Amino acid sequence: MSSAASSPHRNAPARGTTRRATPHRTTHHPHDDAPDTAEAFRRLARLPEGGDKDRLRQEIATEWLPMAHRLAGRYRNRGESLDDLQQVAALGLVKAVSRYDPARGTAFESYAVPTIDGEIKRHFRDCMWSVHVPRRVQLLRSRVRASRQELTQRAGGHIPTVAEIAAHAGLSEQEAADGLEAMESFTSLSLDAQTQGPADVGPLSLGETLGAPDPAIDTVVDREAVKPQLCRLPEREREILYLRFFGGMTQSMIAETLGISQMHVSRLISRSCSAIRAEIARDPAEAEDTGRAA
């Protein structure tokens, strides 16, 4: 055996030099829970519509479901249960899987994350308002909310005024006021909530301060409806109706007062009421044409 072969230093680096270690290359994904589904997406794009494509689409969505749940967790403690948020996020994930095109060359998560976020935000916008608020006011609320938070942090807890919020958000003061009011419309107030009542009564529940239907309203409507028809009746018939329905007199008392028979009073009341009902039931345009012709 040669000395060179038996020398323990045969493969050692030359004196004065150091061996450069080869680093272990690891590729970190932008999302720790991101699976490798690139090949699955390429197969999905080639498959025709049918059962095989639906099964593969479901498998891909299942692989990415942990990421969707993690995105849903960002919106917890905002008035919606985490389970519901995760279902909404899963719906956004299914839409992202169905619409993603691997031929564009972008990573799936770059497309899926904004799609899932948008679905969750749309859920809050459309389903979480106790009072219906127009879309324009909802957008104002978001801008006003962000501006108020930023101004409050800058001022060390000072609550900004409407004018300050409007100037910071680039809105008019009326728009800022509408946005602030919309912030109070996200949740409704219970009818059992206590409110400040009169001094001699004390606190009242909100339900106790609300008005109730006034039965006299129907009477007012009826009187206004018959007033024009009453004015067109002959004077004696108007007097008879007044004595009967407003004076509280019976037909016999009216007959004795006017010096006519009770039967005649009955016929006049019946005829007058029928005429009034017919006038009220007629089409307003037809009645107006008749009035002009008269």
Share of the chain above pLDDT 90, in %: 30
Q: Which two tokens stand for residue 252?
A: 């016999």
Q: Region 169-184: what's the mean pLDDT?
A: 86
The Cβ of residue 130 has, within 10 Å, a number of other Cβ atoms equal to: 11
Share of the chain above pLDDT 70, in %: 80
What pLDDT, on a 0 to 100 scale, did the predictor assign at position 129?
65
What pLDDT, on a 0 to 100 scale, did the predictor assign at position 64?
94
pLDDT of 292 > 70? The answer is no
pLDDT of 87 > 90? The answer is yes
- The chain-wide mean pLDDT, for the chain, equals 80
pTM across the whole model: 0.45
- The better pLDDT of the pair 68, 286 is held by 68
Q: CB within 8 A of 229, min separation 6: which ones?
A: 275, 276, 279, 280
Out of 211-220, 234-243, 257-266, pick the least confident: 211-220
CATH topology assigned to domain 38-127? Rna Polymerase Sigma Factor; Chain: A (1.10.1740)
Whether 103 contacts 45, CB under 8 Å? yes
DSSP the chain: --HHHH-TTTTSPPTT--PPPPP---PPPSSTT----HHHHHHHHHSPSSHHHHHHHHHHHHHHHHHHHHHHHTT-SSSS-HHHHHHHHHHHHHHHHHH--GGG---HHHHHHHHHHHHHHHHHHHHS-SS---HHHHHHHHHHHHHHHHHHHHTTSPPPPHHHHHHHHT--HHHHHHHHHHHTTSSPPPTT-EE---TTT--EEHHHHS----THHHHHHHHHHHHHHHHHS-HHHHHHHIIIIIS---HHHHHHHHTS-HHHHHHHHHHHHHHHHHHHHS-HHHHHHHHHH-
Nearest to 81 by CA among 124, 30, 26, 24: 124
Q: Which CATH number fits domain 222-283: 2.40.100.10, 1.10.10.10, 1.10.3720.10, 3.40.190.10?
A: 1.10.10.10
Q: Which two tokens stand for residue 182?
A: 């919309």
pLDDT of 61 > 80? The answer is yes
- CATH 1.10.10.10 residue window(s) in the chain: 222-283
Q: CB within 8 A of 56, min separation 6: which ones?
A: 40, 43, 44, 47
Q: Region 178-197: what's the mean pLDDT?
A: 74
Q: Region 149-158: what's the mean pLDDT?
A: 82
Whether 72 contacts 64, CB under 8 Å? no
Architecture per CATH, 135-183: Orthogonal Bundle (1.10)
Q: Which two tokens stand for residue 131?
A: 């009072």
Give the torsion through C-alpha atoms of 11, 14, 16, 19, to 10 deg: -40
* Banded pLDDT at 73 (limits 50, 70, 90): very high
- Cα–Cα distance between 61 and 94 in angstroms, integer? 6
Nearest to 109 by CA among 56, 157, 70: 70
What pLDDT, on a 0 to 100 scale, did the predictor assign at position 93?
94
* Banded pLDDT at 7 (limits 50, 70, 90): very low
pLDDT of 257 > 80? The answer is yes
Whether 272 contacts 241, CB under 8 Å? yes
What pLDDT, on a 0 to 100 scale, did the predictor assign at position 253?
93
The Cβ of residue 178 has, within 10 Å, a number of other Cβ atoms equal to: 18
What pLDDT, on a 0 to 100 scale, did the predictor assign at position 21?
42
What pLDDT, on a 0 to 100 scale, did the predictor assign at position 190?
72
